[in-house]
Amino acid sequence: MTEPKSLEDIVEPEPLQGATQTSGPVYVKDPPAWSYFLTPAALILGSIVIAGTIWWTRDDSSGPGSTLDGAPAADAISSVPTASPAASAPAGLLDTMKNYARQTGLNEAAFSQCLGDSANVAELNGDLQEGKDLGVTGTPTFFVNNKMLVGAQPTAILEEIIQAELKGSPTTLEGYSAAVRELAAAGRFSIVAKKPDITGAAIEGNPGAKVVVAEYSDFQCPFCKQWTDTSLKAVRAKLGNDVALAFLHFPIVQIHPNAGNASLVAICAGKQGKFWPMHDLLFARQTEWAALK
């Protein structure tokens, strides 16, 4: 396990209600709230090596053009602290997530056992590490094959990029509209050398499709919810043999403390073939669970 570089890197997690209390320090810069579901503590100490090691410094949520409830804007990306939504459910986080498991038709015993499986934490950390290696610094971030699009951009932008891939995959910015080129100038769109490995990811559509829209997302991110509410339906209408959608976990626990827990819940739903119903439920009910403990 990586040793902490300083005392600031050592934190003591606070256990969730209904979860087993951990003992000893966890060597991450911020406590990964999603790990509190795990038992015993040894699983946590042996698995968590990535979450909390990525820093977000640019203020993208309050600058000109950003919006939470209007049309998506170029800076619609979670990368700095945002206001915490008020808790609206009397139950704790763990009980609420178990209720979601029942709503989506999961086997509750298998679901509960899954929450304590360190292999699922490793899967989550794997997505985080690969995202970091690919240059992801905030959510949502999309890879349409090897085209990287940052933020909850207008649906038309994503549709243009998908269509360009279907027609032959441009190798220069000249293959795109002025709007996409403006995003490129702002650092929100780029043609990259490598696309994400979606092996093991939750996928809608044909995994071998010509175009794969891979989304690095955070279930507690307000911009990810915005994109889900405004654009996901249009993307799903394109899914089939030629276009697929993949979900990759990138919970920013520094500002969204329950996001990792939500990712773990979605992973466990996926083990029972219910990832996408849980995905949709978590985003639809984001304000209900986001502030729970």
pLDDT greater than 70 at residue 22: no
User: Would you state the pLDDT for residue 229?
Assistant: 97
What is the pLDDT of the chain when averaged over all its residues? Answer: 78
* pLDDT value of position 28: 27
CB 114, CB 271: distance < 8 Å: yes
Write out pLDDT tens, residues 151-170: 999 999 999 999 999 999 99
Question: What is the C-alpha to C-alpha distance for residues 284 and 271, in angstroms, rounded to an integer?
Answer: 21
C-alpha atoms less than 13 angstroms from C-alpha of 114 in its C-beta half-sphere: 22
Rounded-to-integer distance, Cα 120 and Cα 267, Å:
7
Q: What single letter denotes the amino acid at residue 76? A: A
Single pTM value for the model: 0.74
How is domain 1-293 classified at the CATH fold level?
A: Glutaredoxin (3.40.30)
Nearest to 51 by CA among 66, 36, 67: 36
pLDDT, residue 77, reads 64
Is the pLDDT reported for residue 81 higher than 70? no
| Amino acid (one-letter) located at 179 | A
C-alpha dist (Å) from residue 220 to 142, 157, 179: 17, 24, 28
pLDDT digits (tens, 9 = 90+) for 87-139: 444 579 999 999 999 999 999 999 999 999 999 999 999 999 999 999 999 99
Rg of the chain over all Cα atoms, to the nearest angstrom? 19
| CB burial of residue 14 (10 Å; 0-12, 13-18, 19+) | exposed
pLDDT at position 35, please? 44
Q: Could you give the 3-state DSSP secondary structure of residue 282?
A: helix
Residue 49 confidence class, pLDDT cut points 50, 70, 90: very low
- Structure token digits, residue 69: 């409830």
Tell me the DSSP string of 217-254. Answer: E-TT-HHHHHHHHHTHHHHHTT-SSSEEEEEEE---TT
**C-alpha to C-alpha distance for 264 and 279, rounded to whole angstroms:** 11
Phi-psi map region of 265: left, alpha, beta (phi>0 left; psi -120 to 50 alpha):
alpha
Output the pLDDT for position 87. Answer: 45
Is 90 exceeded by the pLDDT of residue 33? no
pLDDT of the residue at 91: 78
Q: Is the pLDDT of residue 149 over 80?
A: yes
**How confident is the model at residue 140, as a pLDDT?**
98
For the cut 60, the answer to whether the pLDDT of residue 82 exceeds it is no
Domain extents in the chain: 1-293
